[in-house]
Amino acid sequence: MTVTTIDFQWPAGFYNDGIEIGLGTVDKKDFGYLFSEVPATAAGTYTTNQFQAAPTKLTKNTINHNHHLQAVVVNSAIANSCTGVQGEQDAQTEQQLLGEKLGISPDLVGVASTGLIGAPLPMDKIKAGIAQLQPATDDGVTQAVLTTDTHAKKACVQVELDGQTVTIAGFCKGSGMIHPKMATMLGFVTTDAAIDGELLQHTLSTGVDTTFNQITVDGDTSTNDMVVVMANGLAKNAELTSTTDADYAAFAEALHVVLGELAKQIAADGEGATKLVECNVSGAFNDQEGQQVAKAIVGSNLVKAAIFGQDPNWGRIISTIGATDAHVDIDHVSITLNGILMVQDSLAVPFDLDTAVDAMKENQVTIDVTLNSGNATGQAWGCDLTYNYVKINASYHT
């Protein structure tokens, strides 16, 4: 089956809204919702930070109850994290109020927040905001979740399942505190495919491992964040119930395309970033070690700073490889940077410095590494480390 990338559109039966209710100090949308006209099977992955925020815990428990959701209410600017019993009550109030507004059970409502840790939600504004929300087919909610992001991050594909055209559309936010361990940002994926909830959970968890969990901006894992998928079945394909179903592989591939595209957009929009950094590892002992080495390279502050400075210092890459516990043939490692071979058999290869510097001026820098320890691969994405990253995070609270 062919997966086709298309301009962003909501799958059948999904609506949204994004509005400004004054949660932050800037003039922007900061509150919204996403809902399906019918209950949808749902799956989620969640931050592994020990200080998991109230909305994240609530949504996790809600989805785990029976793998169904019909709506999610979201806000930016305030994380509702480390806010104690009051924060938990506030998240439950959001769930209750949106359920009442839509005429559905609160158990079908997820809650997501992002922003400043430690601040309580101004519930008067939240309650007024829920009352203002209207069903729309634009993409306002994709703006309402942004914090230090420079733009909305969206992806959409279509694939044929059981003779029916299925749409999968996702959006996310994320720019700083990006070092996922089961997703560290807010990501929402909607589809009109019919799929069993447990199978959807398996597919999401598998897809996240090689997409969102393979990006890093600054090595910090947030308290709030998650990826949620809702599948409402309105495409009318025969329900997928097993990984052995004829159309399952096509669905899994299409979902993976959306997750991967969103992950790369987050990495490219890292706080202060000027370049997307992609690392492709081959010759790894196993896939886990391939992913480990790739993520270590894109996460190295020395590598990130060199890429910002357009300095082809491959020594920073090879030292990062050696600092991992992955199997490495230390006499036969090769490193290529934007198509320029710099290391072969673990020794320097002559290259033109000016050509290499020019190559690193591109918006994307690709590092290809061969470990010569097996046949497995790994891939990860990150960004450069800039002066502006420090500036943004030195004044995030004040």
Sign of the C-alpha dihedral computed for residues 298, 302, 305 and 309 taken in this order: negative
147 is in an annotated binding site: yes
CA distances 79 to 23, 115, 380, 384, Å, are 11, 4, 27, 26
Token pair listed for 268: 């490219």
Q: Is 338 annotated as a binding residue?
A: no
Beta strand pairing status for 226-231 and 276-284? unpaired
d(CA 139, CA 193): 20
How far is the C-alpha of 332 from the C-alpha of 350, rounded, in Å?
17
Contact, 103 vs 56, CB < 8 A?
no
Is 271 annotated for ligand binding?
A: yes
Q: Distance (Å, rounded) from C-alpha 398 to C-alpha 45?
A: 31
59 annotated as ligand-binding? no
Strands 376-383 and 276-284: antiparallel
Taking the C-alpha atoms of residue 119 and residue 169, their distance in angstroms, rounded to an integer, is 32
4 tagged catalytic: no
Strand partners, 336: 341, 368
Amino acid at 79: A
> Exactly one of 56, 167, 184, 336 is catalytic; which is it?
184
- Residue 56 labelled as part of a binding site: no
- What is the token pair recorded at 334? 């090769």
Helix (H) or strand (E) holding 378: strand 376-383
Feature table: binding site for substrate: 147, 173, 184, 271, 393, 398
Indicate which residues carry an active-site annotation: 184
